[in-house]
Chain A
Amino acid sequence: MGTVLSALLMACLVLAWRERPMSWFAGLGLATIVVLSWFFFTDITQPLNLSF
C-alpha cells in the first residue's frame, strides 16, 4: 500500500511541476487523500470483521 501511495504522491508532484490544469491536480490530490483514508478505514474497522 505504501508503494501505491508514494506513486500517487509523485504523480501529483509531477502534475504540479508540469503546470497541468488545476482540475487534474485537484482530482489526483483528492484521490490520494481518499486512498489514504481508505487504508486507515480498513485498519480501524479490522475488529468489526467487515468484508468488502
Chain B
Amino acid sequence: MKKAILSHGFASLLTSWAICAALIVALYHQLFNNDLPCALCWLQRFAMLAMLVAQTWILLKIGKRQTVSIQDVALGHGLTILAALVGMSMSLRQVLLHILPGDPGYGGEVMGLHFYTWGFVLFFCCMAGSALTVALSNWLDRTADAWHAAARWTMWLIAALILINWVLVFAMQGFQWELDGDPTHYRLFSFS
C-alpha cells in the first residue's frame, strides 16, 4: 500500500502548535505588556484550551498504541469543531461589539489586528482543518510517524498552558464568581 503523505498525528500536532502559539502570544502580552483579558477574552482562551484537550486525545492514543482508530479521530476532531464553533461565536460577538467607526477596540494589537480578530481567524482555520482531516481520514496515515517524537513535549506544553491559565484566571477573578468586563487589576491581590 502506498504510504500517505500526511498522518493523523502530524495533523493534530500542527493544530496544537497553532493554538499553543496563539495562547503563548496572549500570555506574553498579559504578563509583559499588562494587557489584561476581559471575560469574553477568557472564554475564548478556554475554547482554545478545549480544542487542545480534544487534540491531545488523538496524540495520546497514537503515543500509547502506535496507531489511532477512526473512532478516536472522530471524537478528537468532533470535539475540536464544537469548541471552535463556540469560540468563534464569542470572537464574532467581540468583533461586533467594536465594529462601529471610531471605536478603538479592546486591548492590544498583533500585526494590526486585535486579539479577538485573530481568535476568529484561528477558530475558523481549526474548524476547517478538523473537518477536512475527518473527511480525508481514510487517506491519512494512522500510525505513529517520525513527527510523533514531538508529541510528548507538545502534550506537556498543553498541560502547562492549562495550569498557567488556571493560576492567572484565579489571580484575576479572586474569590468572586464573575470576571470583569473591563479589568484594570488582579482582584486576588487587591481589595478595591
Contact = CB atoms under 8 A, between A and B. Distances in A.
Interface of A: 1-3, 5-7, 9-10, 12-13, 16-17, 19, 22, 25-26, 29-30, 32-33, 36-37, 39-40, 43-44
Given A16-B57, A30-B79, A2 B50 contact: no
A1 B45 CA distance: 13
Contacts, number: 88
A16 B40 CA distance: 27
A6 B162 contact: yes
25 contacts: A1-B173, A2-B42, A2-B46, A2-B179, A5-B46, A6-B49, A6-B166, A9-B50, A12-B50, A13-B162, A16-B53, A16-B56, A17-B60, A25-B57, A29-B50, A29-B53, A29-B75, A32-B50, A32-B53, A33-B79, A33-B82, A33-B83, A36-B43, A36-B47, A37-B86
Given A26-B79, A40-B89, A3 B60 contact: no
A26 B75 contact: yes
Contacts of B178: 1
Interface of B: 39-40, 42-43, 46-47, 49-50, 53-54, 56-57, 60, 64, 71-72, 75, 79, 82-83, 86, 89-90, 93, 158-159, 162-163, 165-166, 169-170, 172-173, 177-179
Contacts of A30: 79, 82
A13 B158 contact: yes
Contact of A33 (B86, B93, B172): B86
B56 A13 contact: yes
Nearest to B90: A40
Given A2-B42, A10-B166, A29-B53, A16 B79 contact: no
